[in-house]
Structure 1
Amino acid sequence: MIVAFIPSETVIGLVGTGVMGKSMAGHFIQAGYEVHIYTRTKSKAQELIEQGAHWEASPGELAGKCQVIFTMVGFPTDVEEIYLGANGILANAQPGSYLVDMTTSSPILAKRIYEEALTRQMYALDAPVSGGDIGAKEARLSIMVGGARDVFDEVLPLLEKLGTNIVYQGAAGSGQHTKMCNQIAIASNMMGVVEALVYAQKAGLDPTTVLKSIETGAAGSWSLSNLAPRMIAGNFAPGFYVKHFIKDMKIALESAEEMKLELPGLTLAKSLYEQLAASGEEDSGTQALFKLINK
């Protein structure tokens, strides 16, 4: 049976305060919630601590104090450790807790966490996001959610503090599968955006002027409108890390292989991004693909 909570009185935990998680925690603090955070390096959470967040020494310590726990970390191995480890969330959270993993991770792992949570009378959702650092800062992320529908309905008021396009996708793992669809579409689109800008430059055009013509037409996309200007400006700071994008593409290709599905565009994009990472750009933003193509 689902244990209802009163959103205004909810104590929120957030594991991972990187590019995305920092903004998420900030929104909850600004909304008046008691927020507990965990990150491996306490100094990186100092700004949130100064805003009123309570720092905890481990995911387990955090889990024992919170009713709803959000996680936003880097890799599936991190998710597995944080949820299933001896000092992790599932071993320490109270029955009736809501667990929301917003990391882009494995659909198989999402199902495993969901099932293990149920055995402990906890309720897990996989809820990866799209929108990058801008979407996180402005609380207008797209959130794709898998898990039980009634759990989604309970947590929705909190998700609405983070995003504007929040869609229930189905059973556990469905959120992660939907995020794979998102990343597959972005992968080929990013190659097109980069090649278009490089072509414009080689043709002697002003890329910014070209962008004015093509971003609102049939070629329009989020990457073209938001990342192409960064490429033109030479700004390759991460809104989303190259290394994390490669991780996502690997998950998508592994899932596709299980379905006996070939994805040639995604395969090519992954190989290009791996070349980019090998050149020392793994901690750059995904728009750094421009450097590889514009040699």
Structure 2
Amino acid sequence: MPQPPGGRRQFSPSAFARARRGYRARAAPSAAAADRRCFRRARGGSGPIDRSPFPRLRSGDRPEEDLVAEDRTFDERLASIARDLLNEPDTQHTLQRVVDAAAENLDGTVWASVSLVTQRREIETPVVTDDRAGHADRLQYELAEGPCLDSIWEQETFQIEDMTTEERYPRWARAVAERTGIRSSLSLQLYTDEEHNSLGALNLYSPVPGAFDAETRGEGLAFAAQAAVALRSAQSEQHLRTAMATRTLIGQAQGILMERLKITPDQAFAVLSRLSQHTNVKLREVARRLVETGEIPDGRK
């Protein structure tokens, strides 16, 4: 599995908003009004982005049975992808499966990435399908402007029809077009967790201007919804496994101290806690060192 040069940079919503004041001053009044209605108009695009969960907006000149069959096919693929996501062993594999599925199942040439908000409020790109997507993300973090950042903090869908005419993110769009050949993009928020914190964004890039029509946006939103559920599930499982491993490790360290110092389990835990505070090292790490070396950090054996 490729490890992309996504990079990371720390932001807070308030700090990012201050950094983006110039952009807001340049935004057209109609775009600001669309923001308040939970829409975002792509400058130079065809209109506001539909925010319904699974929009199906297609041309009216196609037979109804074709549309129904196409919907059924996409829904079946989405269900299969959802099952695959829940079977991935960890967060990294889950995210890689998300971007691979998006790139494989959306029409045209699509390069996908995920921008993820870490526990330290940093934003990083842990997975991509193509290095150009990672480069586009990294430029956003470096310049503190771009659609994936806005998608994360403003909880909206952001679309760019053509990088060469984009006015909201002039530095980023120009650099991306020149360095990667990307001409259009779509950034979809990976929704919020139970504490209303943003998980990140699913970013879709294309070398073709105007690559993301209403149908593709609807399918992209479906992928983003599935990705958010799978990501939260994978994170919860990973946290549970970590907690169980930590508990086992601390129990082993307690056993060593009980045998060496002839003390009770509670007293052994108190010793580990004092060592953690005295050395300014996490309790899990103190326990790990004791189990691996058999040495108590203060020198006693």
Common fold, TM-score beyond 0.5? Answer: no
Structure number with higher relative contact order (C-alpha < 8 Å, ≥ 6 residues apart): 2
TM-score norm. by structure 2 comes to: 0.29
- Which one has a bigger Cα radius of gyration? 2
